[in-house]
Every structure is written in structure tokens, then in C-alpha cells.
Amino acid sequence: MSLAPKKPIYKQIIDDFKHRISTGELKPNDPIPSQTELARIYKTSEMTMRKALAYLAEEDLIIRIRKKGSFIKATSGMLESATISSALSKIYFVHRNVLSRLLNDGFYLAMLSGIAEVCNKHKIEFAIYNMGDRLQLPEDLEAGYILFGLFDDNMAEFMNTVSQWKLEKRKMLTIQFYFPHLEIPYITGDNLAGGYLATQHLLDLGHTRIGIIVSGKSQMEIFSDFSFRLQGYRLALSNHNIAFDPDLVIVKDCSEETEASGYEGFNELMELAEPPTAVFAASDYKAIGAIQAANNRGLQVSNDISIIGYDGQPLGQWTSPRLTTVDQNTFQFGKMAAEKLLYGDTKLENAESQVSPHLIVRESTRALIK
């Protein structure tokens, strides 16, 4: 299938799908070829096709069902006019001991705002619920539950608890984690694509020696989201025939994202015999710490070193210099989660949705001066 070279290929693919849906060529529940097959049909890379499919899922044009494939879904317009299939009395955003100050963080606040917008539109009550160490939900069986950030050392115990909730026919959906065998719908960010976007941006600017700071126990045990971001980093390097150098990967063991971990990680990179010319700090807080470390070393960001973050925290637009970042679009996480509960997508086995990240270019990155 040929596409006119007027806009980015992934946008042309999205427009082509929309046209084929609007004309009736593609109908609800029609199966979609695999990502590999679509890349061949559209004569593009699998990464580009992955990005296009993520946007189509985000716009409620397709639905992905693990082990079954992807299918055409109702268009956004059809979704708006659809009858809500689940008469929910309330939606809870369920967490486990997340500090109140963190819930006011831009990452969480955007997500909560997305849920609240959908609930307000449909006049459904919305509440934040801390299930604490008792691992108990409210008694309300008519409510919907969005589960977020529940990883800990007792994951096996929590998995058993979720299994019991499913037996109770709780209407549940998870964000940023999942238990595939329980066949509960979930929403994730495309961290691999995000890591690729960040690294590709630096490569486009002429940087070939790029450091990365991630979170984990060691290079063999990197935390889940950061592991995917690292995979995206490696894929972008590979596509440019640049050898992966493990010395450029700094792993910081931290329970939450802090400027300190970015500060320390940046200094470790600068102590290398051949330091990088650009740094991908895999969270905005790490990037802010890296900028401070650069300043203390007398380096000017971005003239002497380019730094890119990840998350899309609002404060990035006010740092000095303003931070280039990959925005996770967490508002869409919340909005999509609430809509899935309201429109009955929880009846689909293991329905998966990925939210597409977006690159925001600001002042902390620039072309390499040779």
C-alpha cells in the first residue's frame, strides 16, 4: 500500500485507517493483520507501525486482545453515543500507601484529572482509595476499580487477592502493571517506543555517545518501565549501527524518582575516560538532578552537554534550561481507564491498551558542536 509523502508515515497510516473505517471498508470487530504484516503492507518499519497502532488504540479505533490479536473498534463518535454497558455507581482510583504529596505530582495529577473528567461527564462519583496493608477494597460491588502502583515485596500475596476480587466479579482495570493469566484489562505506556524516541532525538542531533540513567538493582535487574526504556535506547542505537556500551548505562537503586539519583548518575558518566556528549535521564526528576550536576561541574546545558528527561512533568517547562522530555500523556491513561470501565471493555479477555508517548523538544538538547 503506497502513501503520499506529505506528513510523517505513522500519521498517514492513521489517516488511512480512519478513512477505511469511515467508508465502511473496515467494520467493527474486523481483525487487523499483525504489526509485522502491516509494516510490510505499508512498507515501513515495525517501530513506525507500532507507533501508528498505539495512536489508533489511544483514539479508540482499535482494540488489542492478548493472545487473540487486534480488531477494529467503534469510532470515537460511536463510542460517545454508545449506551454505557456497566451501570457503575462510582469509580475508585486504588493505590497502596502512595504518599499524598506524590498524588499531587504532575504524573499522578494528570491521570486523576483524566478519570475525573470522564466521571464528571457521566455524573459518576470519583474517589481516591488507599487500600493500605490490609489489601481490602470497599464493599461496593457496583463500583469500578482502577488499580495503580501496587508493586511490592508481597506481590504473590497481592496476586492472590486480585484473583479473589475477580471471583467476586469486581469491575477492575490495572494501570502500568498486569497479571496476564487473570485476564484483567490493563493500560500501559509504550516505554520501549518512548526510550526509542528520546534516543533517536539525540541521534538526530548528531550525538553518538549517549549515556542513560535508569532505576534498578543492577544492570541485570532493572525496574520494569526502565527496562523497556533501555530496550528502546538500545534499539535506536542498533538502527544506527552504534555498538551498545554497558559503561554508558548507569543504574540507580531508588524506591522513588529523585533529583539525587540523576545528580549521582550524571557524575558517574562524567568520570568515564570518554564521557558522553548527551544523557538520557529516564525520568524528569533524574534529568533535573543531572542538569544541576552539570552546572556544578561548570558545564553549560545544552552547549556542552545535552540532557533529555522522561515523563512530561509540568515543571520541565520552567527549568533552566527548559527540559526536553518524553511525555507519557498520563491524562490519557486516566481517561482511557475510566472509559473502559464505563463502556464495558472489561468483558473482553485481557484487553490491552497502550498510550503513546510524545517527544517535547525544549532547550536542554541541541545539535552536537564538532
Which of 7-21, 41-55, 145-159, 281-295 is least confident? Answer: 145-159
Under the banding of pLDDT at 50, 70 and 90, the label for residue 5 is low
Mean pLDDT within 118-142: 90
pLDDT reported for residue 67: 63
pLDDT tens for each residue of 313-366:
999 999 999 999 999 999 999 999 998 888 765 444 456 678 889 999 999 999
What confidence score (pLDDT) does residue 218 get? 87
CA atoms of 139 and 116, how far apart (whole Å): 21
For the chain, how big is the Rg over CA atoms in Å?
21
Q: Write down the pLDDT at residue 80.
A: 46
Long-range contacts of 105-111 (CB under 8 A, 24+ apart): 105/313, 106/311, 106/312, 106/313, 106/314, 106/315, 107/311, 107/312, 107/313, 107/328, 107/330, 108/330, 110/330, 110/331, 110/334, 111/148, 111/175, 111/330, 111/331, 111/333, 111/334
- Do you find a cis peptide bond into 246, omega within 30 degrees of 0? no
Residues of the chain above pLDDT 90, percent: 50
Looking at the chain, the domain(s) classified CATH 3.40.50.2300 span 85-188+329-355, 191-328
Per-range mean pLDDT, top range of 22-26, 66-70, 297-301: 297-301
**pLDDT category of residue 247 using cuts at 50, 70 and 90:** very high
Instruction: Choose between 39 and 294: higher pLDDT.
Output: 294
* Residues 145-194: tens digit of each pLDDT: 999 876 555 677 788 888 999 899 899 999 988 887 888 888 888 999 99
Note the pLDDT of residue 99: 72
Q: Where in the chain is the domain with CATH 1.10.10.10?
A: 9-79
Q: Does domain 85-188+329-355 have CATH number 3.40.50.2300?
A: yes
Average pLDDT on 103-132 reads: 90
Predicted confidence (pLDDT) at residue 77 exceeds the cutoff of 90: no
Residue 305 has pLDDT above 90, yes or no: yes
Q: What is the value of pTM for the model shown?
A: 0.81
* CATH match for 9-79 among 3.40.30.10, 3.30.70.1380, 1.10.760.10, 1.10.10.10: 1.10.10.10
Question: How far apart are alpha carbons 360 and 77 in whole angstroms?
Answer: 29
Q: What is the pLDDT, as a whole number, of residue 333?
A: 92
- The mean pLDDT of the chain is 87
CA nearest to 261, candidates 229, 236, 233, 293: 293
Does 248 score more than 70 pLDDT?
yes
pLDDT at residue 201, as a whole number: 97
Select from 3.40.50.300, 3.40.50.150, 3.40.920.10, 3.40.50.2300 the CATH code of 191-328: 3.40.50.2300
Q: Taking 90 as the threshold, does the pLDDT of residue 297 lie above it?
A: yes
